[in-house]
Amino acid sequence: MTAVAELAKYAPRYALEIGEPEGSEWLRVDRILEPGSPELTELLKRDDEASCHRTAHANALSMMSFYAGRAPAAALLLWALEGRVLDIRPENLWVRPHEGHGVAAVAVRSAVFLPGGLQTLHDVVLRQHLLPLAEELHRRTRAGLRQVYGGVAAGCAMGFCAATREETTVDPAYLLGRWQTFVAEAPGGLARLGDVETAAGKLVYLRNTCCLYYTSEAGTATLCGSCCLTPRNERLTAYEGGRPILTV
């Protein structure tokens, strides 16, 4: 069995701290999800300061993509590898914001597992966490709910794709199958919002929604590698060629 602490060998985003963290910089996820929470305000503020967004809804879309690409990543990979569901219910999960985008570190109270399989994973990652967060961002900023859900889908996809991109990798064909199983009946209609493909021997995500990062001052009119505003064949060609690309 893969020890939770060993997941970081596949990519930095899978690093997970065990034990209730100390320090005011750590935010417990159930508090982030509370309506009007100052914790969510702080996450949005940091992302906005890092990118200088021109609109509140672009700020929300950017934050959602980066956040979803980090907070549940270890649990997603662990399920993909072993079929077990780590207890990352909101009350057991903490995040430490990055100085710029997204999340710098993630912690769980203890490395315990919940009974059940895929439906339990959907429950703790999506129904209890990312989808309510997306809905709160929609309420706050009026960002289109489909677009915010697109950030959820893109972030979750990176929980599978990133493990094929480092020196220590998991077989891309295996993880592709696990992603397809995860997304096929995922709540929120995530399966319609993009898909994972193989390019240059690695898994890549092709979005059907746009995070509007290119409209920010930091984006400087540069589209993300996965962006739906670029024709699909051009995105795959760029991935195959190994050109530098922005991903969540």
Task: Please write the tens of the pLDDT for every residue from 63-82.
Answer: 999 999 999 999 999 999 99
- What percent of the chain shows pLDDT beyond 90? 70
How far apart, in Å, are the Cα atoms of 67 and each of 11, 64, 101, 177, 234?
16, 5, 8, 24, 27
The answer to whether 106 touches 74, Cβ cutoff 8 Å, is yes
- Run of H or E including 206: strand 202-207
Task: Please write the tens of the pLDDT for every residue from 159-212.
Answer: 999 999 887 788 999 999 999 999 999 999 999 999 999 999 999 999 999 877
| All structural domains of the chain | 4-191 (1.10.510)
Please spell the DSSP secondary structure of 50-83, one letter per residue.
HH--SSHHHHHHHHHHHHHTTTTHHHHHHHHHHS
Task: Please write the tens of the pLDDT for every residue from 103-140.
Answer: 999 999 999 999 999 999 999 999 999 999 999 999 99
pLDDT band at 2 (very low <50, low <70, confident <90, very high): low
The answer to whether 102 touches 69, Cβ cutoff 8 Å, is yes
Task: Please write the tens of the pLDDT for every residue from 212-224.
Answer: 777 776 656 577 7
Average pLDDT score over residue span 143-158: 96
